[in-house]
Amino acid sequence: MAKRVAVLGGGVAGMSVAHELVERGFAVDIFDRHHLYVGGKARSVEVHETNQIHSGKYLPGEHGFRFFPGFYRHVTDTMSRIPFRRADGSMGTVFENLTPTNRVLVARTGRQSLTAIVNFPSSLDDLRVLFSDLTADTGLTDEEMRFFTKRVWQLMTSCRERRADEYERIAWWDYLQADRFSDSYRALLVQGLTRTLVAANAHSASTKTGGNIFLQLIFNMTSPGVHTDRVLNGPTNDVWLAPWREYLEQRGVQFHLGHTVEQLIVGNGKLSSVTVRDNSGELHDVQADMYVLAVPVERAARLITKDLVALDSNLEGIVRLAPSVAWMNGVQYYLNVDRPIVHGHTIYSDSPWALTSISQLQFWPGYDIEERGNGRVRSILSVDVSGWDSPGSNGKIARECSHEEIRVEVWKQLCDALNVDGNVVLTDEMIEFWHIDGDIKAEPHDREMNEEPLLVNTVRSWDNRPEAYTAIGNLFLASDYVRTNTDLATMEAANEAARRAVNAILESVGSSEMRCEVWDVHEPIALGALRAIDKRRYDKGLPWREPMHWLVEAGLSILQFIRHRFGRATSQRAASDAHISPRGLP
């Protein structure tokens, strides 16, 4: 008989577990607290009261925008195995709904924005923008550029063991010596870069994790044919999650939505059952052969009891990790003008609330936006807010603001960074609708309540991360707090954790089914010899020493020459080309 597995949590991790198990002959039930949507934080939603033209068509909102870097392999592999019916009726896969961006805009309050390429140059225009990047007025000194470049080179040539040991104990902020240098250095190179990762905070993230992910982005950008940044070509539910759910249900997965996990019950050295509560408040006893806990860390921590810890003390690590969560939620503005801003993401490098945005409709060909809302929406500006504990220009920290105050302050910060030197990109008259993630409660007594915060990486947190298997024979873990190669709260880590949990289940039942593939982070072969040299030094207890010093110095000298020789003229031309005219036209 097929083994029955209860998956507790229907986010990316839980659905990934179900996908791998059902394809290997297991019977799977998914229990999730959301009663309308699957996919957890990745979901999109229907914004209430925006179906003014057609009763069944709403404007799309979301928890926060998503992007799929080129180094993602686990979640994109799963997407390539989810059937999707194309517009012409033929069958493809969800993976085909990923579309690449080619630019990133770094916006600065009161100063001209910087436009950069995100992929290896493939056109004359890419080369022009790249040259402009090298000569732009960034406000960075030569000393700052040299120091940062050498720090990145140190990461590239450090062995894995040194990263896992020494760099796990150093914050990204301290590794880059952020306090030593200028505001521009901190905004552009220290904080601005980590904001692209969303789930990282420069002050607290370990250099091991922040550095590894940063290197993956660098390796993507320097690899011809690799798309560093990809986004979906429609609302997440439409082009990914709904087809995924349909596929899983066709394979036999049972979804039990509106069911919140209340208790894990221990009996005879294992889980004997799980108690769930449905939306009516009624309790249900769930029994299965095996259980996969795939809820977020703050919810998992509430379920860890003394009885569970007595069977596996490593579960205490989940409780210790639970406080390391932060608010990272989305705000969407629905505008009555076509305003792409840039063909990719915009990082507001010095915004008080740590904003990042993307104008979505430019990536959604054929989407019926004119049949939604009031018929006047022409673009959707999706903003992610990461700095909920910092004061805005209104003097209040974000988490203490009402929805209306959040709407006003986020919009002001966007305008302060984009409307510069007489160039008007955004005006109040453009807004037709707006939406704030429903996980942030609007009632005054709930202003400090966020139902879905995000786990953030911190120094020395690896020791608290559990494996996907436990000492409890029928309990497995699949969430972004599990030990993975990604080691960051992302869809990629959730999918990797799910694969590890499924492999552990297969081992536990002695299954001959093929194991899920798990990939390591990419390490260029060209740097292998230098990392091997550092490994020998690390084994002897010696610190990292710069290899090929002459190569780094030569590269920095060339960069310095370009900046000084061509910087002023090129940066002036780039500013003229990249910015929007006073009339608001691209």
Domains, the chain, ranges and CATH? 4-33+258-322+459-508 (3.50.50.60), 45-101+229-234+328-446 (3.30.9), 120-226+522-578 (no CATH)
Return the beta strands (E) in 21-75 as ranges.
27-32, 44-46, 60-62
Please tell me the pTM assigned to this model.
Answer: 0.92
What residues does 434 pair with on adjacent strands?
A: 333
Measured at the CA of 209, the angle between CA 527 and CA 181, to 5 degrees, comes to 90
Q: What is the pLDDT of residue 508?
A: 96
Pairing mode of beta strands 283-286, 270-278: antiparallel
The closest alpha carbon to 488, from 66, 75, 198, 68, belongs to: 198
Q: Using CA atoms, how far apart are residues 302 and 293, in angstroms rounded to an integer?
A: 12
Angle between helices 549-578 and 142-157 (to 10 degrees): 120
The confidence score (pLDDT) of residue 583 equals 30
Task: Check residue 132 and give its pLDDT.
Answer: 81
Would you tell me the crossing angle of helices 242-250 and 12-22 to the nearest 10 degrees? 30
Encoded amino acid at 489, one letter:
A
Q: Which amino acid is at 451?
A: E
Of the candidates 350, 329, 64, 342, the residue with the CA atom closest to the CA atom of residue 202? 350
**Bridge-based pairing state of the strands 290-293 and 4-8:** parallel
Rg (CA), the chain: 24
- Cβ density class 88-111: b for 16+ within 10 Å, e for less: eeeeeebbebbbbbbbbbbbbbeb
Q: Is 508 exposed, middle or buried (0-12, 13-18, 19+ CB in 10 A)?
A: middle
- Angle of CA points 95, 96, 101, to nearest 5°: 95
> What is the Cα–Cα distance from 321 to 360, expressed in whole angstroms?
34
Residue 399 host element (H or E): none
Q: What pLDDT shows up at residue 345?
A: 95
pLDDT averaged over 10-residue windows placed end to end, the chain, 586 residues: 90 98 97 95 95 95 88 97 96 98 94 92 88 81 92 95 96 96 92 66 90 92 93 97 98 98 96 97 97 98 97 97 92 97 95 94 96 97 93 93 95 97 96 94 64 92 97 97 94 97 97 97 91 95 81 60 54 40 30
Q: What is the pLDDT of residue 447?
A: 53
Q: How far apart are the first and last CA of the chain?
A: 63
User: In terms of DSSP bridges, do strands 44-46 and 83-85 run parallel, antiparallel, or are they unpaired?
Assistant: unpaired
Could you please report the per-residue DSSP string of 343-356?
A: SEEEEETT-TT-EE
Region for residue 250 given its phi and psi (left: phi exceeds 0; alpha: psi -120 to 50; beta: otherwise): alpha
- 510, with CB counted inside 10 A (0-12, 13-18, 19+), is exposed
> d(Cα 507, Cα 515) in Å, to the nearest integer?
9
Element of type H or E holding 313: none
CA distance 4 to 23: 13
The CA distance from 515 to 499, in Å, is 8
Closest CA to 362 of 385, 337, 384: 337
Cβ-based neighbour number of residue 565 at 10 Å: 11
For residue 242, what are its two tokens?
Answer: 């709904």
* Residues 345/358, Cβ–Cβ less than 8 Å: yes
The two structure tokens encoding residue 250: 């066709």
Burial pattern 528-543, b for ≥16 Cβ within 10 A else e, equals: eebbebbeebbeeeee
- Nearest of 98, 221, 216, 291 to residue 488 by alpha carbon: 216
Tokens encoding 387: 């700095």
Reported in sequence order, the residue ranges of 414-465 that DSSP labels E, i.e. its strands, are 431-436, 454-455
Q: What is the three-class DSSP state of 133?
A: helix
266, containing H or E segment: strand 259-267
- Coil, helix or strand at residue 226: coil
Torsion-angle region of 6 (φ positive above 0: left; ψ -120 to 50: alpha; else: beta)? beta
Is residue 397 a contact partner of residue 390, using CB atoms and an 8 Å limit? yes
